[in-house]
């Protein structure tokens, strides 16, 4: 029996992860002089409301000893663990996972994967590994399935400002200056495990710009699409849903995906995006 473990930045709601049999270990949000476990002790909207009011939030990775404890627990009931985490260029979480496996001298039973991704793309990598295992695959094939997701998906995000990412050290000052142009909205994407400002467009063109990118890459191919949004703004969610359904893309499956507290603390309120992969 093989366990699938990921971290909370995959932003799978705890109830859904439990239903799917996916184990999640949380990062920590530091806000208002409190340390709160991602998704478990803090809701995404609490982070966004705090930031809108002028507050700040920072995050810390999963500790080595927390990984060691979770690995011991899982290996009491499982033969091996496939442990898939957010990009090592965005967080030390995956390095801490490797250190914990080495500390326990169980690297043959614990397969740590740097997904090079975060948020919904990370969830997609985790789900790919799970599907491979359910179909009878071994841990090595599950690792390959997770790693293959990077080449299969197209994911972009639009943020109102790059200041939050700059403060957290996720992008440099030059990139922040490039993106924060008056009347323009930065478009971000994953490149080499990093979250980079790819281009900028007019504020009211951001949705169409990103959907154009999906049409250019996938054409008439059947797609699974995730609409990613920071906060439960019903008006924004409805607008994003309508934009996708009226885009002309060949959509076989679509879902809404809420950004969690840790990711939200870095991108800030008002962020949204789209992720697609072949159906």
Q: How far apart are CA 95 and CA 89, in angstroms?
A: 10
Tens-digit pLDDT profile for residues 1-58: 999 999 999 999 999 999 999 999 999 999 989 999 999 999 999 999 998 898 889 9
59: left (phi over 0), alpha (psi -120 to 50) or beta: beta
Q: How far apart are CA 83 and CA 148, in angstroms?
A: 15
The reported pLDDT for the residue numbered 207 is: 95
What are the boundaries of each domain within the chain? 2-27+62-151, 154-278
Tens-digit pLDDT profile for residues 253-265: 999 999 999 998 8
Q: How far is CA 127 from the centre of its chain?
A: 12
Question: What confidence tier does 183 reach under pLDDT thresholds 50, 70, 90?
Answer: low
From 3.40.50.1820, 3.40.50.150, 3.30.1180.10, 3.10.105.10, which CATH number describes the 154-278 domain?
Answer: 3.30.1180.10
Residues 6 or more apart whose CB falls under 8 angstroms from that of 91 comprise 9, 27, 59, 61, 85
Check the CA dihedral 105-110-111-113 and report its sign.
negative
Count of all residues that appear for the chain in the document: 279
Q: What CATH fold (topology level) applies to the domain 2-27+62-151?
A: Rossmann fold (3.40.50)
Whole-model pTM?
Answer: 0.91
Please check whether the two domains, 2-27+62-151 and 154-278, share a CATH topology.
no
Strand ranges (E), 120-217 = 154-158, 184-191, 194-202
Q: How far is CA 148 from the centre of its chain?
A: 16
Q: How far apart are CA 96 and CA 103, in angstroms?
A: 10
Backbone angles phi, psi at 109, to 5 degrees: -105, -15
Tens-digit pLDDT profile for residues 58-105: 999 999 999 999 999 999 999 999 999 999 999 999 999 999 999 999
Residue in the block written with tokens 């009878």: 136
Pair 246, 216: CB distance under 8 Å: no
Tens-digit pLDDT profile for residues 190-248: 999 998 889 888 888 999 999 999 999 999 999 999 999 999 999 999 999 999 999 99
Tally of CB atoms within 10 A around 186 = 25
End-to-end CA distance of the chain: 28
Backbone angles phi, psi at 63, to 5 degrees: -75, 155
Does 232 or 175 have the greater pLDDT score?
A: 232
What angle do the packed helices 139-152 and 119-134 form, to 10 degrees? 140
């Amino acid at each position: 029996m093989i366990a699938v473990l990921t971290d909370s930045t995959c932003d799978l709601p705890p109830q859904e992860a439990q239903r799917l049999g996916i184990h999640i270990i949380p990062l920590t949000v530091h806000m208002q002089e409190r340390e709160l476990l991602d998704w478990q002790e803090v809701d995404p909207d609490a982070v966004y409301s705090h930031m809108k009011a002028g507050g700040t939030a920072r995050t810390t990775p999963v500790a080595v000893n927390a990984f060691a404890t979770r690995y011991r627990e899982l290996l009491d009931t499982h033969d091996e663990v496939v442990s898939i985490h957010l990009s090592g260029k965005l967080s030390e979480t995956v390095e801490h996972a490797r250190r914990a496996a080495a500390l326990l001298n169980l690297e043959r039973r614990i397969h740590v994967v740097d997904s090079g991704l975060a948020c919904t793309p990370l969830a997609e990598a985790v789900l790919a590994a799970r599907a491979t295992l359910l179909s009878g695959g071994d841990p090595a094939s599950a690792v390959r399935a997770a790693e293959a997701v990077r080449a299969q998906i197209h994911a972009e995000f639009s943020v109102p400002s790059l200041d939050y990412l700059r403060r957290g050290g996720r992008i440099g000052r030059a990139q922040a200056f490039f993106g924060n142009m008056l009347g323009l909205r930065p478009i971000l994407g994953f490149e080499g495990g990093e979250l980079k400002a790819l281009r900028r467009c007019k504020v009211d063109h951001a949705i169409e710009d990103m959907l154009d990118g999906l049409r250019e890459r996938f054409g008439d191919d059947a797609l699974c699409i995730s609409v990613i949004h920071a906060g439960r703004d019903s008006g924004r969610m409805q607008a994003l849903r309508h934009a996708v359904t009226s885009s002309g893309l060949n959509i076989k499956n679509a879902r809404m995906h809420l950004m969690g507290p840790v990711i939200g603390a870095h991108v800030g309120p008002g962020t949204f995006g789209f992720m697609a992969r072949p159906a």
